[in-house]
Amino acid sequence: MAAKRPSSGGKWKQLFPTKCSLFVFLAYMALFINQGIMVTASQRADNSYSYNTVTVVLLSEATKLVVSFLLYLRENKASELFAEMSQHTRVLALYMVPALLYCLYNNLAFVNLAAYDPTTYFLLLQLRVVVTGIVFQVLFKKQLSKWQWVSLFILTLGCIVKQLNVTEKNAQVVTSPKTDDITSHMVSSLFSVHTGLVLLQVLCSCLAGVYNEKLLKDIGAEVHIMVQNVFMYIDSILCNAAVLLMRGELGSAFTVTALSQIWQPAVIVIIINNAAVGIVTSFFLRNLNSILKTFASALELMFTAVLSWLIFGIDIGWWTVLAIALVTYASWMYAQNPVVNRGRLDQLEGSQTSEEVRLVSSETTEV
C-alpha cells in the first residue's frame, strides 16, 4: 500500500513546528532587511564610513552579551549562570569556532567589496546556498532528498538572476560598452587572489551557521540557549578585539573622537538592530535549521528589492521579476518537503517528560 502523503497542514507543521518558530522566521528577515537599509543610510556620499566598522561590530557583540545575560536573569539567578558556565567550559571553548568564523566573515566582507565590483561579489556569494547543504549533510550526517537539492539549486539560480539586473545596469554606464570588454573584465575578476578570499568568506558563513546549529541542538543541547549566547558573544568580543589589535587600532578605536563618530542615531540603530539579529539567529538555529536560513536570506533579497522600489523608487527590472518567481517557486518546492532537524532536543525533552511523569507517579503512590 502506498505511503500516505502528509497534508498541507502537516507540511506547514514540519516547516514551522510552533507559532514561535514562524515569528522567528519573519523577525529574522525583517531585521536583516532593516540592517541593510540602515547600513546604507550611514554611508558617506562615496560609500565609505565615518566610523570604525570593527568597533561597531565589537559593540554589537557586547550589546548581545548584555541582552543575553539579562534575558537569562529573568528566570534564573546570576549564580546559576556562573555555575552553568563553569560546568560547560568545553562548550564555551567550542563556541570559539563559530565566533572566529563570523569574525572572519564580517571583516572579509569589507576587504572583498573593496576589491570586487558588487556584481561579481554577490554572484560568488550565492555559492553559500549549495555549500550550506553540503556542510549540513557532513556535520549532521543527514542526507538531503533529491527535491530538497533541486529547490536549493533553483534558489541559487534565482539569486544569480537577481544580480543580472545589476549587470545590465552596469553595462549601460561602461564607457566602452563592448561585450568582449565586459566579459574579459568579469573573467579576469574571477581568477584572482580575491576570488579565493570570497570563497573563504562563503565557507566561513556556511561553517559558522551549521556548526552553531550543531552546538545548539547536539553538543550543547542541554545548555540553556542564553548561556550558549553568552559563550558565543564572549568569544566574538575576543575575536574582534584581536582584529583591532592586529590592525593597531585597539587603543585609538575607543578614544573620545572615535566614539563620537559612532554616537550617531543611525549607527546606534545599527548596533541595536545587529544585536537583535544575533539573538533572533540563535532562536532560528535552535528551533529551525541552517537550510531554511538560506531560504530566509534569499527571500530577504527579494523583499529588499520590492521595498527599495516602494521606498526609494528604485526600478524593478525583468531580471528581478524572474528572480522573485524562481525564489518563490524554490521556496514552495522546499515547503513541500522541508528538512526536519531537531538534533538531541527531542531526546532531551522526552527524558524531561519521562522524569516529570515518574515524579508525579511517585508522589501519587506516597499519597
| Nearest residue to 227 (alpha-carbon basis) of 286, 273, 139, 293 | 286
Q: Which residue has the cell 545575560?
A: 69
Q: Could you say which residues of the chain have pLDDT below 70? A: 1-12, 110, 113-124, 126, 162-192, 301, 308, 311-312, 314, 340-367
Work out whether the CA dihedral 169, 175, 177, 178 comes out positive or negative: negative
Q: Which three cell numbers stand for residue 327?
A: 525564489
Assessment of whether the complete model's pTM goes beyond 0.95: no
CB of 186 within 8 A of CB of 120? yes
Query: Which amino acid does the sequence have at 276?
Result: A
Query: Measured between alpha carbons, how far is residue 248 from residues 58, 113, 232, 253, 329 in Å?
Result: 15, 22, 24, 9, 48
Instruction: Say which DSSP state 47 is in.
Output: S
Reported as a single tens digit per residue, the pLDDT across 90-130 is 999 999 999 999 889 877 876 776 666 554 566 567 677 77
> Largest alpha-carbon pair distance within the chain?
90
pLDDT tens for each residue of 288-336: 878 787 777 777 767 777 776 776 676 777 877 787 788 778 877 877 7
